[in-house]
Amino acid sequence: MRKTVQLQPFGWLLSLAAVGLVVLVADPALAEFYVAQDTATKKCTITDVKPDGQKFIMIGTSSYSTKVAAKEARAKTTAEECPHKPAKSPQ
């Protein structure tokens, strides 16, 4: 004999909320960041969308798991790669 699980009247809502929570927690772990250069302005930016190769080109050969890591990679680029790098703050 096969048993079926019957949810309470709003049990489906609880299940949906649990799935939403899992997605919310897992989403930042799946994020990738790129150092991308706008082909028109040559300005480099950090983006979470993979550059398309036309409007934006990827600087470097990899993506970064955090925005901080991508910013560190952008800081290490040469003037030829990112001619409009953000100015360093005076110390």
pLDDT value for 38: 92
Element (H, E) at 34: strand 34-38
9-21 pLDDT tens trace: 666 666 766 766 6
- Long-range contacts, 63-67 (Cβ 8 Å, 24+): 63/32, 63/33, 63/34, 64/32, 64/33, 64/34, 64/35, 65/31, 65/32, 65/33, 66/33, 67/33
22-77 pLDDT tens trace: 655 555 556 799 999 999 998 999 999 999 999 999 998 889 999 999 999 898 88
pTM for this predicted structure: 0.59
pLDDT value for 35: 93
Domain boundaries, the chain: 31-75
